[in-house]
């Protein structure tokens, strides 16, 4: 689409800089803004309500430069982008250029500046607080421990890992070997769907080939829990729908978060087929 509202050459005086003379005396800055939003309706209807009044971001930029005290042009550009994205949900991206018009340099330079472009998705990603999530892993083909260790090394935000358990296969064909299972705790600012694609990437990295349901696999990586969030969508169900029926999940989960595993669940599950085989040392992964 490529629609923009454009502001060029907005000049404001402010205190931004690292040098002590810059901290003492205000100097001139110039800002260019490109605000990306769909202008189809405003272009057709001539209604101000169908777009954003550019006086609003202009005023926001003036206020940031005049009243806030930052050292870096980067931070000022960051603040402008945050503010303009936050001011109206129809804005999907903002590019801000901030120039210092008389940079204190021992050279003949007309201006110095920084340009940032951020989409709404970028800013949300940064602003999202970390969530405690639990990931289950299982392997019953090839060098099982090596697949688990490799996946743990690549898992972003890893905080702790359960003991490793050898478990009889539940469901699937008869001729498959036992699993190694574990549960990992992570702190993540990825949203649950981005986390799911990380899990799929780890499975691919282990060369997983999907044939039959519950068939043998080099690596299975499932999202068990994501904070208190509940999700029921075609791609992802959280909490994992079968987790509390499966001792190969509940046993390692209870190593990390017994408070999430009330005794009733554990004792109602068949105790057979799950053997503790050892632990993975996070410091030597």
208 assigned to active site: yes
Q: For this structure, is 217 an active site residue?
A: yes
Q: Which is nearer to Mg ion, 185 or 220 (CB)?
A: 220
Which of 39, 145, 159, 170 contacts ligand PH2 by CB under 6 A? 170
**Which of the listed partners (ligand PH2, Mg ion, none) does 170 bind, with a CB threshold of 5 to 8 Å by partner kind?**
ligand PH2
10 Å CB burial of residue 126 (0-12, 13-18, 19+) is exposed
Instruction: Give the dihedral sign, CA 249/250/255/258.
Output: positive
Q: Which is nearer to Mg ion, 40 or 214 (CB)?
A: 214
- Torsions phi, psi of 26, nearest 5? -65, 150
- CB 142 → ligand PH2: shortest distance, Å? 15
Query: CA-to-CA distance for 157 and 223, rounded, in angstroms?
Result: 14
Tokens for 246? Answer: 């499966």
Alpha helical stretches, state H, the chain: 20-24, 40-45, 55-67, 73-87, 120-127, 144-154, 192-205, 247-256, 263-268
Catalytic residue of the set 99, 118, 144, 217: 217
Compute the 3-state secondary structure of the chain and give helix, strand, coil in percent, each to the nearest 5. 35, 30, 35
Catalytic status, residue 220: yes
String marking each residue 215-234 x if it binds ligand PH2 according to CB under 6 A: -----x--------------
What does the block give as tokens for 167?
């478990």
We find the least distance from the C-beta atom of residue 59 to ligand PH2, in angstroms, to be: 55
Q: Is 275 a catalytic residue?
A: no
Question: Residue numbers of the site for Mg ion (CB under 5 A)?
Answer: 220, 222
* Residue closest to ligand PH2, measured at CB: 138
Q: Spot the catalytic one: 79, 99, 118, 222.
A: 222
Task: Kindly state the smallest distance separating residue 162's Cβ from ligand PH2, in Å.
Answer: 13
For the annotated catalytic residues, the residue numbers are 208, 217, 220, 222
Q: Summarize as ranges the residues that interact with ligand PH2 (CB under 6 A).
A: 138, 167-172, 179, 181, 214, 220, 248
């Amino acid at each position: 689409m490529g629609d923009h509202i454009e502001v060029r050459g907005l000049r404001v005086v402010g205190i931004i800089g690292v040098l002590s003379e810059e901290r003492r005396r205000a100097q001139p800055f110039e800002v260019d803004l490109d605000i990306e939003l769909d202008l189809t309706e405003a272009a057709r209807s001539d209604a101000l309500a169908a777009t954003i009044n550019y006086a609003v971001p202009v005023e926001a930029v003036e206020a940031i430069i005049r009243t806030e005290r930052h050292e870096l042009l980067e931070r000022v550009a960051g603040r402008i982008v945050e503010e303009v994205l936050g001011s109206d949900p129809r804005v999907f991206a903002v590019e801000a250029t901030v120039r210092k018009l008389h940079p204190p340099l021992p050279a003949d330079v007309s201006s110095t500046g920084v340009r940032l472009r951020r989409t709404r998705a970028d800013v949300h990603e940064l602003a999202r607080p970390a969530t405690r999530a639990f990931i289950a892993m299982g392997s019953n083909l090839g060098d099982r421990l090596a697949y688990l260790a490799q996946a743990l090394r690549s898992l972003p935000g890893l905080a702790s890992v359960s003991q490793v358990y050898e478990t009889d296969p539940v469901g699937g064909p008869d001729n498959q070997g036992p699993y190694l299972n574990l549960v990992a705790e992570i702190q993540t600012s990825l949203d649950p769907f981005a986390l799911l694609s990380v899990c799929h990437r780890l499975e691919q990295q282990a060369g997983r080939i999907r044939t039959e349901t519950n068939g043998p696999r080099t690596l299975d990586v499932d999202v068990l829990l994501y904070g208190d969030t509940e999700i029921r969508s075609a791609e992802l169900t959280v909490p994992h729908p079968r987790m509390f029926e499966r001792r190969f999940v509940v046993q390692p989960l209870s190593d990390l978060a017994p408070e999430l595993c009330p005794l009733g669940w554990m004792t109602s599950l068949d105790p057979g087929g799950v053997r503790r085989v050892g632990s993975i040392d996070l410091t030597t992964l």
